Homo-oligomer: A and B are copies of this chain.
Amino acid sequence: MPPLYVSFVAGAAGKWKIETIKAATGETLPCAGFLDIRESSEPNHRAGAPPQPPPDGWVLRGVVSNLRYTTRAEVEELKSRQEGLGRPAATRAALIPIRKSEAWWALSQDERRRIFEEQSRHTTLGMQYLPAIARRLHHSRELGEPFDFLTWFEYAPEHISAFEDLVAQLRQTEEWQYVTREVDIRLSAVQGLE
């Protein structure tokens, strides 16, 4: 799949209502009412002006790209278990932007893989919550964004506590010692509200 460019636009309108924005590590993001997700096969700088932040809002940009740590065996297991975004029952969501330290990026590939999976069990942990918690990773570091990654999660209301468990476990890992900024944004689908 060629790269998919995604802009998360926070402002007065959008398909997702922002319930809370909390800093987990470092500086938070400004409050906003709603989040809109805009996807394009063209990066913004070629397709025209990138989405601009609305008044009192903000924009975070990322690109869905190739896997960086996942082995073939893990890919096959993920594929067999996971479900896509946009399930009607998945009316809760989280956007978790993360920045890692320069020390992380100075590690070699085998060192990052060891911390990511052999020690922190990042993929294995996420796998335990499939298919309930769907997930999509967006890379931002090469776009010069304030965060290195934007991870988007979708799940049904009955899986809220499972999601809390997943996030809490990840934050205990060795990998998370390299996280220098993390914001935790929780949302509800506007269409899906009772």
A interface vs B, CB < 8 Å? Answer: 1-3, 5, 42-46, 50, 63, 65-72, 74-75, 102, 105-111, 113, 139, 141-144
Contact = CB atoms under 8 A, between A and B. Distances in A.
A143 B43 CA distance: 7
Q: How many copies does the complex hold?
A: 2
Given A43-B144, A63-B142, A70 B108 contact: yes
B110 A144 contact: no
Contacts of A105: 1, 65-66
A72 B111 contact: yes
B108 A75 contact: yes
Nearest to A75: B108
Given A44-B45, A50-B45, A68-B68, A141 B108 contact: no
